[in-house]
Amino acid sequence: MTAKILAVDDDKTLLRFLREYLESEGFEALTADRGASALRLFYEQRPDLVVLDVMMPGMDGWEVCARIRELADTPIIFLTAKTTEADKLRGFRLGVDDYVTKPFSLAELGARLRAVLARTQPRGGEQPSLYRAGGLAVDMRRREVHLDGQELELTNTEFRLLAALARRAGEAVAQEELGREVWGESSRRGGSALRRYVWLLRQKIEADPNRPTRLLTVRGFGYRLESPTSHPQSPIPDLQ
């Protein structure tokens, strides 16, 4: 499926080049030259990734990023001339996935786009694309999750975590491996961030999140999702 990219920059000439480049590379391109219009497009179109200029009049990239993060974990790449460590740390705290420093080449931007998409979208190949167990169904190609026939609304991070476990259903997966798959090799997020998303996910897929029977803790190691062919009666105690 073609990835949908939202590019946001107040430089209309650059924005035109970005659209032409993205479309030539096979992406579906959306563009906005102001923060407010970018948010409207984001809410309406739900892009797969946002390329966002930091310095814009009115609502700047910091605010747009924060508003997007209130709704979703969609990957964000900042375009910026600000390269100080403090600025980068501020962006990473907001949940930015990568930086591209102006001036930049379109080839560099394309490489970074593909790298971020590769780690945030479901993997192809021989990996299973559908998981079912005890009323829970995860369709990794369609990016849909159903529980007892009702579709669940998951953030991108919640879905990536659930999909990573579903591809290895019945196996214990180390915290470090899950972190790399959910956030990428260079992420500074640690075990506390992973535990928070496990907790959030359990609120949506468990009948009793305090006594999970689907997403289980493997003490001192990581997590395990219920096997598609088994329904454990005595889950491992959840000692986070």
Structure tokens at 206: 């468990």
Handedness of CA 72, 73, 79, 80 (dihedral sign): positive
More confident residue, 181 or 14: 14
DSSP H or E segment with residue 113: helix 106-120
Residue 132 lies in a domain: no
CB 214 within 8 A of CB 205: yes
CATH number of 66's domain = 3.40.50.2300
Distance CA 90, CA 229 (A): 45
Angle (nearest 5°) at CA 195 between 133 and 49? 80
What is the pTM (predicted TM-score) of this model? 0.54
Provide the domain count of the chain.
Answer: 2
Confidence band for 187, pLDDT divided at 50, 70 and 90: low
Q: Which of 212, 233, 210, 207 is nearest to 224 (CA)?
A: 212
DSSP H or E segment with residue 31: strand 28-32
Given this model, what pLDDT does residue 228 score?
72
Handedness of CA 189, 202, 161, 214 (dihedral sign): positive
CB 79 within 8 A of CB 100: yes
CATH number of 189's domain = 1.10.10.10
Distance CA 71, CA 57 (A): 23
Does residue 100 sit in the same domain as residue 165? no
Find the domain containing 166 and state its range. Answer: 155-225
Residue 240 lies in a domain: no
Distance CA 164, CA 119 (A): 11
Q: Could you tell me which residues come within 8 angstroms of residue 175 by beta carbon, excluding any fewer than 6 positions away? A: 191, 194, 221, 222, 223
Residue 139 lies in a domain: no
Does residue 177 sit in the same domain as residue 71? no
**238 pLDDT more than 60:** no
Does residue 86 sit in the same domain as residue 10? yes
Q: pLDDT (tens digit, 9 = 90+) per residue, 71-130?
A: 777 889 998 876 666 766 777 777 788 888 888 889 889 988 988 887 776 544 445 578
Q: What percent of the chain has pLDDT over 90?
A: 32
Residue 146 lies in a domain: no
Does residue 159 sit in the same domain as residue 104? no
Q: Could you tell me which residues come within 8 angstroms of residue 78 by beta carbon, excluding any fewer than 6 positions away? A: 52, 53, 54, 61, 65, 91, 96, 98, 99, 100
Q: pLDDT (tens digit, 9 = 90+) per residue, 12-61?
A: 999 999 999 999 999 999 999 999 999 999 988 888 899 999 888 888 88
